[in-house]
Amino acid sequence: MSHLLREHAPVTSAGWKLLDDEARERLTPALAARKLVDFSGPHGWDHSATNLGRVEEISDPPGDGIAAGQRRVLGLVELRAHFAISRSQLDDAERGAVDIDLETLDGAARRIATAENAAVFHGLASAGMQGIAEASTHETINLGEDCEVYPRHVAKSVDALRASGVDGPYGLALSPEGHTHVLETAEHGGYPLMQHLQEILGGPIIWAPGVNGGVVVSLRGGDFLFDSGEDLSIGYENHDADSVQLYLEESFSFRVATPEAAVPLPT
């Protein structure tokens, strides 16, 4: 039995399938970072740290004439998003109902996907993780509200990356608000803005909840490293007569190997 304790939940196999399928369906569109960065793993729940390949000198070595150092690692963070499912809803699903209310699970999926994106793009300082936007060595380009000028900003970002020797294709992670504006906009002559931006980038424009403005990144690989311990899973906490308390969980670390491989476009 794994630490998720799913066998202890008053949930049938069909119920778990319903929950897992719903979670997968809600998470996949929102996990923007995974569409743009390198993914390693999953290495399992007992994978606790990422090797940084660095050593730090110890000031009090255990003996004269001894040089001592300690390896530096980046500890994985665990994210959990709790939610409760009504037992009567699960019972209805067993009876064949198709309009099951899984709003609480959908909310948890939104929260954890947004948190993962925020950690990757903007970092998690308390856990020693630097985000793509913060690590960038390029001057930030203010995205602004007027999306008619987005092509100019994105082209400038792509130029900056090329000038640094960072090859494409490139992708753009865009906040939900920015993404909506782009989808709604046609430029002079009716040419869709989305298509124009994709042509400049040579890659995708990703809807990215948790991102402030936008971030242009290189997709050549090897620049941004997501290290997965346990991939997103649903676990069991407890239950009473009315509901089952569950959670979505994952563990990961994130590192920027090439700070110059991204340009932040904050609003």
Partner 1 sequence: MGFDQYHEPPSELPEEARTFARMSANLIEEAEAIDWYEQRLAIERDPDARAIMLDAEGEEFKHFSMNLEFLFRRLPLWREIAQGILFQEGDIVEHGEESEEEATEGEAAKGAPLAGSESLGIGSLRGSPE
User: Which residues form the interface with partner 1 (CB under 8 A)?
Assistant: 2, 4, 6, 13, 20, 23-24, 27-28, 31, 34-36, 38-44, 204-207, 219, 228, 230-234
Give helix then strand counts, H and E, for the chain: 7, 11
Cβ–Cβ under 8 Å, residues 79 and 115: yes
> Measured from the CB atom, is 198 or 212 closer to partner 1?
198
In angstroms, the Cα distances linking 243 to 89, 96, 107, 112, 238 are 9, 19, 16, 21, 9
**Cβ nearer to partner 1, comparing 13 with 59:** 13
The smaller minimum CB distance to partner 1, of residues 20 and 134, is found at 20
Q: Closest separation between CB of residue 212 and partner 1, Å? A: 19
The CA-atom distances, in angstroms, between 199 and each of 21, 43, 168 are 34, 36, 12
- Between 36 and 263, name the residue whose CB sits nearer to partner 1: 36
Instruction: Assess contact for 4 and 236: CB atoms under 8 A.
Output: yes
The distance of closest approach from Cβ of residue 57 to partner 1 in the complex, given in angstroms and rounded to an integer, is 36
What is the nearest approach in angstroms of partner 1 to the Cβ of residue 241? 25
Cβ 238 to partner 1 shortest distance, Å:
18
CA gap 161, 264 in Å, rounded: 11
